[in-house]
Amino acid sequence: MFQQACAIISLFTNSLLVFLILKNSPPQLGTYKWLMLYTGLFELIYASLNIFVEPTIGTFQSVCYLFQDLRKSIFGHDITLIFILGYSSCFGFSLSIFASHFIYRYGVVNADFKQKYLSGWKQTLLYIVPVCCGVIWGMICGIALSESSLKSAFLRMYFQEAFNLKIEECVYVASYFWPLDDHGVSYPDTISFVGIGIMSLILSSSFSNVIYFGIKCYNYISQQLGELSTQSQAIKSLQAQLFYSLIFQFAIPCLLMYLPAGTIFMITMFDLGFDMEFPLLSFTVAIYPAIDPLPTIFIIKSYRRGLIGMLTCRKKNQLTTTS
pLDDT over threshold 50, residue 28: yes
Higher pLDDT, 312 or 79: 79
Question: Domain extents for the chain?
Answer: 1-310
Tens digit of each residue's pLDDT (9 = 90 or more) over 191-207: 999 999 999 999 999 99
Query: For the chain, what percent of residues have pLDDT higher than 70?
Result: 89
Mean pLDDT of 277-286: 75
Q: Which of 105-109, 134-138, 319-323 has the weakest average pLDDT?
A: 319-323
In this prediction, residue 233 has a pLDDT band, given cuts at 50, 70 and 90, of: low
Quick: pLDDT tens for 109-138: 788 898 999 988 899 999 999 999 999 999
27 compared with 80, residue with greater pLDDT: 80
At residue 319 the predicted structure's pLDDT band, cuts being 50, 70 and 90, is very low
Q: 3-state SS string over the chain?
A: CHHHHHHHHHHHHHHHHHHHHHHHCCHHHCCHHHHHHHHHHHHHHHHHHHHHCCCEEEEECCEEEEEEEHHHCCCCHHHHHHHHHHHHHHHHHHHHHHHHHHHHHHHHHCHHHHHHHCCHHHHHHHHHHHHHHHHHHHHHHHHCCCCCHHHHHHHHHHHHHHHCCCHHHEEEEEEECCCECCCCCECCCHHHHHHHHHHHHHHHHHHHHHHHHHHHHHHHHHHCHHHCCCCCHHHHHHHHHHHHHHHHHHHHHHHHHHHHHHHHHHHHHCCCCCCECCCHHHHHHHHHHHHCHHHHHHHCHHHHHHHHHHHHHHHHHHHHHHC
The CATH code of domain 1-310 reads 1.20.1070.10
Task: Identify the residue with better confidence: 70 or 272.
Answer: 70
pLDDT at position 173, please? Answer: 96
- Tell me the pLDDT tens digit for each residue of 234-260: 666 766 776 777 677 778 888 888 888
